[in-house]
């Protein structure tokens, strides 16, 4: 997978526009000069035709040798940091008496500039990347190195509840598009030095910051190394959202099933980190990825762990059953009504036959069209504004369903099956895509082979599930096992005092979660 992708990207490396060539010509083989004017001219060439580039030259009023400048991009920085921590201290301080002239650069760095985060750099590529990320470059005449001062100050969205993962009980915080804000939300949940943070940049043009979070004493080193390898192999011009990363590093790329988790909730990420999983945060995206991802996670909701375990288990069984019914009920109805009427009770069969009198279309075509229309209404409601989308869903479903039955275009049982399958599909929003794909696959097989096609298709789905791995972890981990603390968090949510170990394979390095469940208060 990665080999093919790398070849394509290598072929595209030669396809650069004029700005890329100019940037390469300026940066390649060049470095910072000791002359301030030459450095300024060089950065003007690098950021040519960019009117957001700001160059502020100034000097100390007591010591004329202190000729310097700052370079930054407008709208990317906090002006208060620049004014209060850089310009004013250097301009107003009596440097002639306070510092040594022989080591002026270091004296300014350690005694005058008051910023909390300063880094000395000489590599021109790294300096340009820092400027583009919202940092400020400080240059001093007579020195061929610069200071990168952290000064990001762009507008960002406030922390609020995720609209797609709302809960009745639990935290109301959701991730934002700022990678540093997202890291702080996770650190508030896990106050432990074993929580490790690693950064890297991906994208030849965007240089998007990627953050890897994991618990060092829990996460598998082999999974971590594999994740880092896949991320380093990515060679693409830009990363806009975490969906890019998900598609580029996932297992089973042609499968409709998700092999990488995604969530906007810090509490969900924190819980998965404590189970040994690894999180990937992409700057500019509120969706945080977690690996590895197994089938059991598709039916797990964070509220299951905040409510009573009996109620949580009941809700989980409902979600699992709903997903299965949403996949099988249209194809099963088609197979029984069309090919195997003898398997239907006589009163029910007579009712189906009466409802189909006068219907000009076969059952398969009716089911296919109605399911397709339901998905069209779902997509239309999603893409429209919230208030209008709700109206489209309600009016479209009610009016259209009633109209087609009265017009004798579709039988009433077909409408019932379609509505039931569609509603159950929406119970788990992360599995909408796989459910739709598997539902139509079973529908086509049942239309040709009847119940035998249905069974054959269902077996294919199970075999496909069993063949998938997510970063070396079986996709159906603990699905069929209930021994030795396995399977206690799959079909049901066992009480906390029973779940004394973490998921095997994922957290094999540190399995014990709690000492003993026998010491609980009764």
Query: Is 24 part of a structural domain of the chain?
Result: yes
Domain that holds residue 345: 309-473
Residue where one domain finishes, among candidates 260, 293, 326? 293
Taking the chain (522 residues) in consecutive chunks of 10 residues, what is each chunk's mean pLDDT?
Answer: 40 42 58 87 87 87 81 86 86 71 78 84 87 89 88 81 83 90 92 92 89 92 93 92 92 91 92 92 93 89 88 90 92 91 87 84 89 84 68 68 80 88 85 91 93 94 92 84 68 82 79 65 51
Sheet (strand 136-140) strand order: 53-59, 67-73, 136-140, 146-149, 118-121
Whether 118 and 257 map to the same domain: the answer is no
Whether 343 and 284 map to the same domain: the answer is no
Kindly report the number of other CB atoms within 10 A of residue 516's CB atom: 9
Domain count for the chain, please give it. 3
pLDDT of residue 513: 77
Kindly report the number of other CB atoms within 10 A of residue 258's CB atom: 20
pLDDT of residue 19: 42
Q: For residues 293 and 413, what is the distance between their CA atoms, to the nearest angstrom?
A: 37
* DSSP secondary structure of 371-430: HHHHHHHHHHHHHS-HHHHHHHHHHHHHHHHHHHHHTTSS-HHHHHHHHHHHHHHTTSGG
Whether 375 and 436 map to the same domain: the answer is yes
Whether 62 and 211 map to the same domain: the answer is no
Whether 335 and 282 map to the same domain: the answer is no
Kindly report the number of other CB atoms within 10 A of residue 385's CB atom: 10
Summary count for the chain: helices (H), strands (E): 19, 12
pLDDT of residue 462: 93
Strand runs (DSSP E) across 110-183, as ranges?
118-121, 136-140, 146-149
CB crowding 124-159: b at 16 or more within 10 Å, else e: beebbbbbebbbbbbbbbebeebbbbbbeeeeeeeb
Whether 320 and 283 map to the same domain: the answer is no
pLDDT of residue 1: 36
Q: Whose CA is closest to 356, among 301, 315, 308, 417? A: 417
Contact 109, 137 (CB under 8 A): no
How far are the Cα atoms of 44, 113, 152, 210, 428 from residue 78, in angstroms, in the given order?
A: 22, 16, 6, 23, 42
Q: Three-state SS string across 416-444, please?
A: HHHHHHHHHHCCCHHHHHHHHHHHHHHHH
Whether 391 and 442 map to the same domain: the answer is yes
Instruction: Name the pTM for this structure.
Output: 0.83
Whether 289 and 313 map to the same domain: the answer is no
Query: Is 420 part of a structural domain of the chain?
Result: yes
Whether 113 and 194 map to the same domain: the answer is no
Reduce the DSSP state of residue 152 to 3 states and report it.
strand
* DSSP secondary structure of 254-281: T-SS--SEEES-HHHHHHHHHTT-EEEE
Whether 329 and 223 map to the same domain: the answer is no
Q: Which residues contact 133 (CB under 8 A, 6 or more apart)?
A: 76, 152, 207, 209
Query: Is 497 part of a structural domain of the chain?
Result: no
Whether 132 and 200 map to the same domain: the answer is no
Query: Is 373 part of a structural domain of the chain?
Result: yes
Query: Is 501 part of a structural domain of the chain?
Result: no
Which pair of structure tokens corresponds to residue 192?
A: 């432990």
Query: Is 190 part of a structural domain of the chain?
Result: yes
pLDDT of residue 389: 62
Reduce the DSSP state of residue 469 to 3 states and report it.
strand
Q: Whose CA is closest to 393, among 407, 377, 406? A: 377
pLDDT of residue 387: 62
Query: Is 191 part of a structural domain of the chain?
Result: yes
Residue where one domain finishes, among candidates 149, 168, 196? 149
Query: Is 160 part of a structural domain of the chain?
Result: no
Whether 267 and 313 map to the same domain: the answer is no
Q: For residues 414 and 441, what is the distance between their CA atoms, to the nearest angstrom?
A: 18
Q: For residues 522 and 510, what is the distance between their CA atoms, to the nearest angstrom?
A: 28
How far are the Cα atoms of 70, 112, 359, 514 from residue 89, in angstroms, in the given order?
A: 13, 6, 85, 53
CA atoms within 13 A on the CB side of 59: 10
Residue where one domain finishes, among candidates 441, 457, 473? 473
Contact 430, 262 (CB under 8 A): yes
């Amino acid at each position: 997978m990665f080999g093919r992708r790398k070849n394509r990207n290598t072929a595209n490396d030669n396809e650069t526009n004029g700005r890329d060539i100019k940037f390469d010509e300026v940066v390649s083989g060049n470095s910072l000069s000791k002359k301030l004017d030459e450095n300024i001219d060089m950065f003007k060439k690098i950021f040519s035709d960019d009117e957001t580039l700001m160059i502020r030259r100034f000097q100390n009023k007591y010591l004329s040798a202190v000729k310097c400048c700052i370079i930054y991009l407008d709208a990317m920085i906090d002006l208060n940091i620049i004014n209060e921590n850089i310009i004013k201290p250097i301009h107003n301080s009596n440097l002639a008496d306070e510092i040594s002239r022989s080591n002026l650069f270091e004296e300014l760095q350690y005694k005058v500039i008051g910023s909390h985060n300063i880094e000395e750099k000489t590599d021109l590529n790294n300096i340009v990347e820092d400027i583009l990320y919202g940092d400020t470059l400080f240059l001093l005449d007579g020195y061929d190195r610069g200071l990168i001062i952290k000064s990001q100050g762009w507008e960002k969205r406030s922390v609020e509840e995720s609209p797609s993962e709302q809960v009745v009980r639990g935290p109301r915080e959701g991730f934002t598009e700022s990678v540093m804000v997202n890291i702080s939300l996770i650190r508030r949940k896990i106050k432990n030095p074993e929580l490790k943070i690693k950064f890297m940049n991906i994208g030849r043009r965007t240089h998007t910051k990627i953050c890897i979070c994991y618990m060092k004493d829990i996460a598998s080193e082999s999974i971590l190394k594999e994740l880092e390898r896949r991320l380093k192999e990515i060679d693409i011009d830009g990363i806009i959202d975490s969906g890019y990363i998900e598609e580029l590093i996932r297992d089973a790329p042609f499968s409709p099933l998700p092999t990488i988790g995604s969530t906007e909730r810090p509490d969900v990420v924190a819980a998965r980190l404590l189970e040994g999983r690894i999180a990937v945060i992409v700057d500019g995206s509120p969706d945080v990825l977690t690996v590895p991802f197994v089938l059991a996670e598709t039916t797990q909701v964070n509220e299951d762990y905040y409510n009573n375990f009996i109620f949580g288990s009941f809700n989980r069984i409902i979600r699992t059953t709903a997903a299965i019914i949403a996949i099988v009920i249209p194809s099963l109805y088609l197979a029984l009504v069309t090919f195997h009427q003898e398997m239907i009770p006589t009163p029910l069969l007579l009712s189906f036959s009466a409802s189909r009198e006068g219907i000009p279309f076969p059952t398969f075509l009716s089911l296919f069209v109605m399911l397709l229309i339901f998905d069209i209404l779902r997509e239309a409601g999603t893409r429209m504004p919230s208030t209008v989308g709700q109206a489209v869903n309600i009016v479209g479903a009610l009016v259209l369903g009633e109209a087609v039955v009265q017009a004798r275009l579709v039988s009433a049982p077909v409408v019932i099956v379609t509505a039931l399958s569609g509603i159950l599909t929406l119970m788990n929003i992360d599995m909408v895509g796989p459910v739709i794909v598997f539902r139509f696959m079973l529908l086509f097989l049942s239309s040709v082979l009847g119940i035998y096609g249905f069974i054959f298709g269902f077996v294919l789905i199970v075999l496909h599930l069993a063949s998938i791995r997510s970063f070396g972890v079986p996709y159906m981990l603990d699905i069929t096992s209930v021994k030795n603390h396995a399977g206690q968090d799959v079909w049901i949510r066992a009480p906390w005092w029973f779940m004394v170990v973490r998921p095997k394979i994922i957290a094999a390095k540190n399995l014990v979660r709690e000492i003993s469940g026998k010491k609980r208060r009764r």
